[in-house]
Amino acid sequence: MKLCVAQVRPIKGDIEQTITNHQRLIDLAVSNGAEIVIFPELSLTGYEPELASELATTPDDRRFDIFQQISDTRQITIGVGVPIKGEAGIWISLVLFQPQQARHLYSKKYLHADEEPFFVSGKSTVTALGPEARIALAICYELSVPEHSENAFKNGAKVYITSVAKSASGMEKAGETLSAIARNYAMTVLIANSVGFCDTFESAGKTAIWNNQGQLVGQLDDTEEGIVLIDTDTQEVIERTL
């Protein structure tokens, strides 16, 4: 399969304009043959915890119809980051659009302590994608919880894709952790991070891929929007920027 992670510069709180930016990156992914493209944590709003309750919505938000249309017509699975209204609070979620299927959610279960005033542990309707559900999903802090990647491995995952909003120091630590996950579990690992200022820090980009030996095989810089793609059959890696 051709798997892709996208690096976007969200516009704080401006979902409509950021959707347009997502479309440009999806077009880039499609033109390079991607079958799945995953965006960073809360990519449609920016990582803005204090605005989350104001911006939170539902998976069936009509503004997201364009993603379903692209998924159906281009035969690509798309995951975008959105704050979702849950029963007991706001969830940090990926809304997942798959060809000719109902929308699904992957929601962050493990929260960092700093997030607990704004979010609650979320519920997911799917935790893995692809043939035989071999592509496990994670959102940011979850990659630091050993139980999370261990469970993915025990459930048969061959790929681990994580959607994050991280600073330069956060990405450095995440890279070490994800390389170890890839090496220890023989999984291909991908990370999608934003660029630009959000919350109280600068998102540092460096969206990347590690092969199943834990070697870094593709990475974007810390400023440009773009994609990194890997063909899991041939191991070919493509990097593209807008």
Tokens of 165: 């909003």
Domains of the chain and CATH, by start: 2-241 (3.60.110.10)
pLDDT digits (tens, 9 = 90+) for 45-62: 999 999 999 999 999 999
The amino acid at residue 150 is: E
pLDDT band at residue 35 under the 50/70/90 scheme: very high
User: In the predicted model, what is the mean pLDDT of residues 189-217?
Assistant: 97
> What is the tens place of the pLDDT at every residue in 70-81?
999 999 999 999
Closest CA to 229 of 218, 221, 214, 216: 218
- Say if residue 221's pLDDT is above 90: yes
In a 3-state reduction of DSSP, which class is residue 91? strand
* Predicted local distance difference test score (pLDDT) of residue 131: 87
If DSSP states are collapsed to H, E and C, what string results for the chain? CEEEEEECCCCCCCHHHHHHHHHHHHHHHHHCCCCEEECCCCCCCCCCHHHHHHHCECCCCHHHHHHHHHHHHHCCEEEEEEEEECCCCEEEEEEEECCCCCCEEEECCCCCHHHCCCCCCCCCCCCEECHHHCEEEEEHHHHHCHHHHHHHHHCCCCEEEEECCCCHHHHHHHHHHHHHHHHHHCCEEEEECCEEEECCEEEECCCEEECCCCCEEEECCCCCCEEEEEECCCCCEEEEEC
Q: Mean pLDDT across the chain, nearest whole number? A: 97
Measure CA of the first residue to CA of the last residue in the chain; give whole Å. Answer: 23
Tens digit of each residue's pLDDT (9 = 90 or more) over 89-134: 999 999 999 999 999 999 999 999 999 999 999 999 999 999 889 9
Q: How confident is the model at residue 226 (pLDDT cuts 50, 70, 90)?
A: very high
Give the Cα separation of 41 and 31 in Å (integer). 24
pTM score above 0.85:
yes
